[in-house]
Amino acid sequence: MTLTGIILLLLLGLLLLMVEILVLPGTTVLGVIGGILMLVGLWFAFAGYGTTTGLYVLGITSAITLGAVILAFRAGTWNRFTLHKKLKGQVNTFDESLLQVGTTGVAVSRLAPMGKAEFGGEYYEVTTTGQYVDPLTKITIVAVTKSQITVKPII
């Protein structure tokens, strides 16, 4: 095989490895194919041009591969693929002294068996005792724990 063919095999293998590392991490298919192409290129270099040239090609390939990986990590390539937004959601927080057993309210959404309800102009996520409750149905609180309000419909 010609030296140009060997270089093309090595570059294609390096390209596939970089795609595996930077774009599609975890798939391993492209990484394995890229590694095989690089090994085949190195084998052709050793078989066709002897040990000395093969060792030079191995050293140059190793240096270029290591340099490409280091450059890709330093260039902030990962920053383009990562999520930078922070989640601002929180657990159902409320003042337990305001919500007591027996407090009445209205189901804002369908409670199947969880949903939204309004008590005193404030909205809370609530759970029923098992039944489904339609929107705009009057409900009453039957239990209050740290972050859960259990309700039942007023019949």
Q: Which fold has domain 104-153?
A: OB fold (Dihydrolipoamide Acetyltransferase, E2P) (2.40.50)
What pLDDT shows up at residue 77? 65
Amino acid 30 reads: L
Task: Please name which of 90, 89, 99, 102 lies closest in space to residue 145, comparing C-alpha atoms.
Answer: 99
What pLDDT shows up at residue 148? 86
Q: What does pTM read for this prediction?
A: 0.50
User: What is the block-wise mean pLDDT of the chain (155 residues), using blocks of 10 residues?
Assistant: 90 89 77 92 93 93 90 72 72 74 93 91 90 93 88 91
Which residues contact residue 55 at a Cβ distance below 8 angstroms, ignoring those fewer than 6 apart?
A: none
- Residue 120 pairs with which residues in a beta bridge? none
What pLDDT shows up at residue 17? 87
Which residues contact residue 48 at a Cβ distance below 8 angstroms, ignoring those fewer than 6 apart?
A: 1, 6
What pLDDT shows up at residue 92? 66
